[in-house]
Amino acid sequence: MAFLTWLHDLPVSPSVISLVVLPALLYWDSLTTSLREIRSTLSMVLLN
């Protein structure tokens, strides 16, 4: 939102980000991520 200068003074609570923005981003990534990419990063995710 930093590129929208008129939104600079608009207060946005962290709950709005976690309830609206984050699910939309995760949904889009779940649609566009390939299984090959998931398999290649799965071991790193599970080890951390």
19-22 LR contacts (CB < 8 Å, sep 24+):
none
What size, in residues, is the chain? 48
What pLDDT, on a 0 to 100 scale, did the predictor assign at position 47? 85
pTM of the prediction?
Answer: 0.47
Q: Are 18 and 24 in contact (CB under 8 A)?
A: no
Tokens of 22: 């984050």
> What pLDDT score does 7 carry?
67
Q: What is the mean pLDDT of residues 30-37?
A: 91
Domain positions in the chain:
13-47
* Rounded Cα–Cα distance for residues 23 and 32 (Å): 14
**pLDDT of 9 over the 90 cut:** no
Alpha carbon distance 39, 45 (integer Å): 10
